[in-house]
A and B are shown apart, each in its own frame.
Chain A
Amino acid sequence: MISKNFTVLNPAGFHARPAKEFVQKAGTYPCNVTLIKNDKKANGKSTLSVLTLGLKHLDEVTLETDGEQEEQAIEELGKLLGKIYQE
């Protein structure tokens, strides 16, 4: 299992399109994907679960991947977390 911390840069927070793109991408990896904010965990492959984290602009969030292709997943999904700005 590996993990990495990120800051949400999207001015509109992390829902609608950014969350959708993230979840779709997460679904393409065999490993488990988890987002953690203040001890609250969310399944990175579930939009509903990610939304209930209520990620806002400039929130700190931990991305955790566990299983097959975890290295690749954390790199690609991390890029998305930091880069996505559109909603």
Chain B
Amino acid sequence: MSAILTGVPASPGIAIAKAYRLQSVQYEVVRTVVEDPQRESIRFQKAVDQAKQDLESIRKMTEQRLGPLKAEIFEAHLMVLEDPELIDAIKEKILQQKINAEFALHETSHKFIELLEGMDDERLRERASDVRDVNQRIMSYLLGRDYSAPSAITEPSILIAADLTPSDTAQLDRTLVKGFITEIGSRSSHSAIMARSLEIPAIVGVGAAAATIDSGITVILDGLNGQIVVNPTMDELHEYERQREQYEQHKSELRTLMNQPTVSKDGHRVELAANIGSVEDVEKAIENGAEAIGLFRTEFLYMNRNSLPSEDEQFQVYTYVLDRMGQRPVVIRTLDIGGDKKLPYLPLPEEQNPFLGFRAIRMCLEHQDLFRTQLRALLRASAHGNLKIMFPMIAVLEEFMEAKRILLDERDKLIKEAVSIADRIEVGMMVEIPSSALSASIFAKEVDFFSIGTNDLIQYTMAADRMNEKVAYLYQPYHPSVLRLVQMVITAAEKEGKWVSMCGEMAGDETSIPILLGLGLHEFSMSATSILPARALIRQLSKLEWSGQTEMLLSLRGNDQVRGKVRTLLQTPGQIV
């Protein structure tokens, strides 16, 4: 009989193999008095030096295998090995109390492990495992034992352990270790992060139940759903084997697209970008092959706090993101708040219709101090990367011109203050209000680019609140009235040599992608995880053939007809795709 265990899916993929239980170095530390503390201290330093040599070679190996970023963790370990509050403190203990190195090491490192484990910040708690790792490594040298336990594996296995240290994980032999299961840990544990970069399926945080899996038992590890099948039946084995093959094939297809440009079957190039709403999201964008940040929402800077973020604080955040993206473009949207999103320190009047009210650029143009602070931070950050600035909720030309005037005003001031600013910063606008789509040809002469925010554009076109279930049926992304507005924007932009992005949910949707490609959209900005599937899809589509379908699609009767037609075309082999 098979048994099912569940845990946190930490690294995707399916593995089927025999379990291998990893026992951590077991040692018992006894306090003993030494006769020659001087010699004991030298013995300790020797163990530290050996540990340093080990870590240095693991660091080099990781750098070659996974790149300098993943090797940084071992630099951190090396620093622990030189930390005066640890190493010097241990030596002092040995000399003053005339005790054995093992005990002094155990006591001192556990003081730090406990301190770190008690921290509020999860990222700091994770650092406790650095100290534990280093402690075990020195200890094994002091005790004269072998530390590289995972290397004892000789046949394909799924590792089962209480926890894996970063150096355990980095040394895993991918040809033998098919996956791992741990009792403790979260998605952000070092071992989980390592598993994702090594592309080994993993489930963490299974709890004590993981200890019931004995070595030698066959295990199915479903890292996609966080499920473990212990002792599977023949049927389960066949089913998961089929799923595994399917997943591996799909993954290897997507992986080859990681650093590839996004080009349609007939050679038309478009850009796939990520939408981000926090500093942490940048890493996800990079990991998923984003060619740009198409929408950086800045609201998070203003929320959950009691006062406005300062210019310097904003500057740090913008610079960080620009820096991480290098030469790749980053479109930052100025504050879109008001209406339903309220800030405790910025009293705004109650409204009957918040979505039709005093929000975004409307509010910023009146509260200019707040707007100018953000613009100054953006301008200063522009020297650090490829920044583009975008204003939200533009309804009429005057709003855009006024926002741009204020931006240029701040730019002139900063130049007078001798602050370095990028020579050229593109300035664009969101198209969320039907009026701006209808007048796109007028706007196109003034803006550098458009970004179509489909969630709002659909809601304003249909006059239907997307939060109201009663009218949710009117959220119709494929409706010809929505598509025609999109078409108007792209046509107007092309006439003036400007570019158009789309940053709503629609941009990553597999039914709208062929339509948008046919319409000539230049940039598709979506959540990071949609990027590689979208790239795979676009490479199978012909821009020319889908352009040929535009007129027919836009003349259909409604949303369902368009969706139905596109899906039929996608499934007709040899015809369009």
Are the CB atoms of B319 and A16 closer together than 8 Å?
A: no
A11 to B116, Cβ gap below 8 A? no
Q: Majority SS of interface residues in chain B? A: helix
**Residues of B contacting A56 in the complex (Cβ-Cβ under 8 angstroms):** 121
Interface residues on B, range: 20 to 34
| Interface residues of A, Cβ cutoff 8 Å to B | 9-13, 15-17, 20, 23, 43, 45-49, 51-52, 54, 56, 58, 85-86
Chain A residues whose C-beta falls within 8 Å of the C-beta of B319 in the assembled complex = 85
Q: Give chain B residues whose Cβ lies under 8 Å from the Cβ of A85.
A: 316-317, 319-320
Provide the bound-state CA to CA distance between A9 and B313, in Å.
6
B312: chain A residues at CB < 8 Å are: 9
Contact of B84 among A16, A43, A58, A86 (CB under 8 A): A43
Q: Is the CB of B36 closer than 8 A to any CB of chain A?
A: no
B: residues with CB less than 8 A from A are 72, 75-76, 79-80, 83-86, 112, 115-116, 119-121, 123-124, 127, 131, 279, 312-313, 316-317, 319-320, 323
Tell whether, in the assembled complex, residue B316 and residue A51 are in contact, meaning their CB atoms are under 8 Å apart. no
Closest CB of chain A to B362's CB: distance in Å?
Answer: 28
C-alpha gap A48/B85 in the complex (Å): 7
B127 to chain A: which residues have CB within 8 Å? 15, 51
* B76 contact from A11, A20, A54, Cβ within 8 A: A20
Given A15-B123, A45-B84, A47-B76; 8 other pairs, CB 8 A cutoff: A11-B320, A13-B121, A13-B123, A46-B83, A46-B84, A48-B83, A52-B115, A54-B124
How far is it, in angstroms, between the C-alpha of A54 and the C-alpha of B72 when the chains are bound?
20
> Are the C-beta atoms of A54 and B121 separated by less than 8 Å?
yes
CB distance from B91 to the nearest CB of A (A): 14
- By the criterion CB–CB under 8 Å, are A11 and B279 in contact? yes
Check A20 against B75 for contact (C-beta < 8 Å).
yes
Q: Using known A-B contacts A47-B80, A51-B127, determine if residue A12 contacts B279 with beta carbons closer than 8 Å.
A: yes
Residues of A within 8 A of B316 (CB): 9-11, 85
Q: Are B79 and A23 in contact (CB under 8 A)?
A: yes
Q: Which residue of A lies closest to B300 (CB)?
A: A11
**What's the nearest-Cβ distance from chain B to residue A29, in Å?**
13
Contact B86 A86 (CB under 8 A): no
Inter-chain CA distance A49–B112, complex, in Å, is: 8
Q: Which residues of B contact A51 (CB under 8 A)?
A: 116, 124, 127
Q: Give the distance in Å from the alpha carbon of A86 to the alpha carbon of B326 in the complex.
A: 13
Give the 8 A-B CB pairs with smallest separation, nearest first. A46-B85, A85-B316, A49-B85, A52-B115, A9-B316, A11-B317, A46-B83, A48-B112
B119 and A52 within 8 A (CB): yes
Residues of A within 8 A of B119 (CB): 52, 54
- Which chain A residue lies CB-closest to B123? A15
Distance of A52 Cα from B127 Cα, bound (Å): 10
Please report the C-alpha to C-alpha distance between residue A57 and residue B115 in the assembled complex, in whole angstroms: 20
